[in-house]
Structure 1
Amino acid sequence: MQRRPGRGHRRLPHTADVRFEAWAPTREECVAEAVAALVGTFVDPAGASPGPQREFRAPAGDDADLLVGVLDEVIFRMETAGELPLHTDVADDGAGGLVVRWRTADTDAVELVGAVPKAVSLHELRFGSGDGEGWSCAVTLDV
């Protein structure tokens, strides 16, 4: 069996909704990879030019709550501002929370290729580190 790369994501089989797994060496990189996985489930961002930078601060909390908060913010901004992240940088804020910076594109600039997510499901949500292989998460999106 081939070893997976140090950072990445993939879709997982699911009967009704959309499910993905993301992994990276650090918690912050794993959250950034999960954002890329989320966006990649329903749009093809190829060809879209990065626009303005946006910032979001997720307050200190349980790691899974931080992940859900960031992913929910992506969905919220898509619905209310018509923008999606093309590039994501995540940093620890020093107090247990996260500072997320996105380079965004208008939703009109990307091609729709799948069902648009409505929310992040808490059912079978997984996020954590283990086995010395960094961080990973598994997320189901309600579509």
Structure 2
Amino acid sequence: MERRPARGHRNIPHTADVRIEAWAPDREGCVAEAVAALVDTFVDVAGAGPAGETEFRVPPGADPDLLVGVLDEVIFRLDTEAVLPLATEVRPADDGGLVVRWRTTGTDEVELVGAVPKAVSLHELCFGPDRDGWACAVTLDV
């Protein structure tokens, strides 16, 4: 069996929805990879440059709740501001939550290549440490 890279993400075939997996050496890196995986499911960002920066906080909670909070924010910003993250930095907040910083671009700067996610499903959500660091698997409702 081939060893996966230290950090990455992929889309997995799933009936009627989209399933993503992400992994990294640490929790925050895994969240950042999950954001990239979500964006990759429906747009091609090649050639898009950052047009802005956004920072937000996710309140303290269980690790799966933190992941869902960040992914929900991607969908919310897409719906309300027509922006998407091109690069994601995640760090732990002093209160146990997360601080997330995105370099963003407008949806008019990217090419649509798949169904736009509408929500993060809690069904079969996985997020936690594994033998190589941290990993997650998430289903996106489209």
TM-score bucket (shorter structure)? over 0.9
What are the Cα deviations for residues 49-103 of structure 1, in whole angstroms up to 9, with x where unaligned?
1111101100100000000000000000000000000000000012210000000
Give identity over the alignment, percent: 73
Question: What is the SS of the residue equivalent to 1:79?
Answer: helix
d(CA) in 2 for partners of 1:75, 1:130: 27
Q: Give the letter aligned to residue 51 of structure 2.
A: G
Question: What is the SS of the residue equivalent to 2:5?
Answer: coil
Match of residue 55 from structure 2: 55
Match of residue 4 from structure 2: 4
Question: What is the SS of the residue equivalent to 1:55?
Answer: strand
Is 2:130 aligned against 1:130?
Answer: yes
What are the Cα deviations for residues 96-133 of structure 1, in whole angstroms up to 9, with x where unaligned?
100000000000100000000000000000000022x1
Match of residue 141 from structure 1: 140
Q: Give the letter aligned to residue 30 of structure 1.
A: C
Number of residue equivalences: 142
Alpha-carbon shift at residue 6 of structure 1 (Å): 0.2
Alpha-carbon shift at residue 28 of structure 1 (Å): 0.3
User: Could you tell me the TM-score, scaled by structure 2's length?
Assistant: 0.98
The gaps in structure 1 that reach 5 residues or longer are none
Q: Give the letter aligned to residue 25 of structure 2.
A: P
Question: What is the SS of the residue equivalent to 2:9?
Answer: strand
User: Could you tell me the TM-score, scaled by structure 1's length?
Assistant: 0.98
d(CA) in 2 for partners of 1:9, 1:135: 12
Match of residue 81 from structure 1: 81
d(CA) in 2 for partners of 1:105, 1:67: 21
Structure 1: which 4+ aligned runs deviate by more than 3 Å?
none
The gaps in structure 2 that reach 5 residues or longer are none
What are the Cα deviations for residues 8-64 of structure 1, in whole angstroms up to 9, with x where unaligned?
001112111000100000000000000000000000000001111101100100000
CA RMSD, Structure 1 to Structure 2 (Å): 0.6
